[in-house]
Amino acid sequence: MLAEAYGDQFDSPATAGDRRARALFDRLCVQLPITVEDRDRAARLGFDLVQDHCPFVAQLRGGQVASHAALAGRLREAGALAFTEGVQVAGLVPAGFDWREFLADASLLFGEAPPTPRPRLAAVTDSLRALIAVAAAAGRRGRARVDDFLPELLLAESPEMATRIAGRVFEPLKRADAADLADTLRCLAAHDFNTAAAAAALPVHRNTLLYRVGRIEKLTGLNLAEQRDRTLVLLAVTWQGVAGSVGPTVGG
């Protein structure tokens, strides 16, 4: 039993630190009573179990697993409970954690939540994983903020409904083998449904664009002059843009 409880003592220091951090994080998430082993892990990591804890997720642009392991190690040295998840680092930092040293690396992207009670740690960390996936896909660096990606995250929180919305808008065009119409619809959404701007961007004659709009409306049953249907299109296009990034992370 002792060997099982302290199996990480036989790992390299970096690997042991990663395993201890992950084990402690998991126990905090499921609200298990703090044990002697947990206190030992926290002490070895230099992590304060008493302070308020803020979930975080971080990622290095273009970084490999080794560079993220190194980042997790530096975060632990700074007092964070940090562990790797492939090409991401997740965990907890104390309230008021100073990220300035880490932001010297221009490839760093991170999101941090406010102090979070234990029953919410897992769910909030999942939301941060989605935030970082969306922000990375958008090319962001530095601190990612939820308010900058509200539509994307709203869809990510309900991927089944988001997929249904995308299907409602694009499946009729797919069945009609009308890739040009799907591209036209995305272009319209990107230009606030301004037909002149969309025609110039494609580029096609404005009359051609209006003809395509008519075909889109006939195939989909949408009225692109109606705000409600425009909203459906915007949500569908938004989900198509982020689904591949957030799909594997949503729900853990």
In the chain, domain spans: 2-144, 159-246
Residue type present at position 95: A
The whole-model pTM stands at 0.82
Helix, coil or strand: residue 115:
coil
Tokens of 153: 């995250």
- The model's confidence at residue 52, banded by pLDDT at 50, 70 and 90, is confident
| Per-residue model confidence (pLDDT) at position 244 | 86
Single out the residue of 87, 68, 13, 4 nearest to residue 46, CA to CA.
13
| Per-residue model confidence (pLDDT) at position 15 | 84
Distance CA 107, CA 153 (A): 22
For residue 228, pLDDT over 90 is answered with yes
Tokens of 56: 């975080």
| Per-residue model confidence (pLDDT) at position 13 | 60
Which CATH entry fits the domain spanning 159-246: 3.40.50.300, 3.90.1150.10, 1.10.10.2840, 3.50.50.60?
1.10.10.2840
Tokens of 148: 């900058």
**What value does the CA radius of gyration of the chain take, rounded to a whole number of Å?**
23
Residues 6+ apart with CB under 8 A from 115: 52, 53, 54, 95
Q: What is the pLDDT of residues 154-200, one digit of tens each?
A: 999 999 999 999 999 999 999 999 999 999 999 999 999 999 999 99
Lowest average pLDDT, out of 33-37, 121-125, 148-152, goes to: 33-37
Lowest average pLDDT, out of 44-48, 80-84, 107-111, 224-228, goes to: 44-48
Residue at token pair 């040293």: 101
| Per-residue model confidence (pLDDT) at position 159 | 93
Distance CA 128, CA 90 (A): 9
For residue 9, pLDDT over 60 is answered with no
| Per-residue model confidence (pLDDT) at position 1 | 36
For residue 106, pLDDT over 80 is answered with yes
194 CA to centre of own chain: 31
Residue at token pair 């230009």: 191
Compute the average pLDDT of residues 25-31: 90
